[in-house]
Amino acid sequence: MELIQQLDEEDKSTVFKIIDKMLTTKKFKDFFNKNVAAL
């Protein structure tokens, strides 16, 4: 997390958006896989 401290605010928000998108995509994939498996 030291690396993130060195970024300016705009860069931080970009990094967090990317992380958030990756997490959301993974959650969606897990959800999708579970529901397709259930069919």
Q: How far separated are the first and last CA of the chain, in Å rounded?
A: 41
What's the pTM value of the predicted model, to 2 decimals? 0.55
Q: Where are the domains of the chain?
A: 7-32
Nearest Cα to 18, choosing from 37, 34, 4, 32? Answer: 4
pLDDT at res. 14:
93
pLDDT in tens, 2-39: 776 787 889 989 999 999 999 999 999 999 888 887 76
pLDDT at res. 4:
67
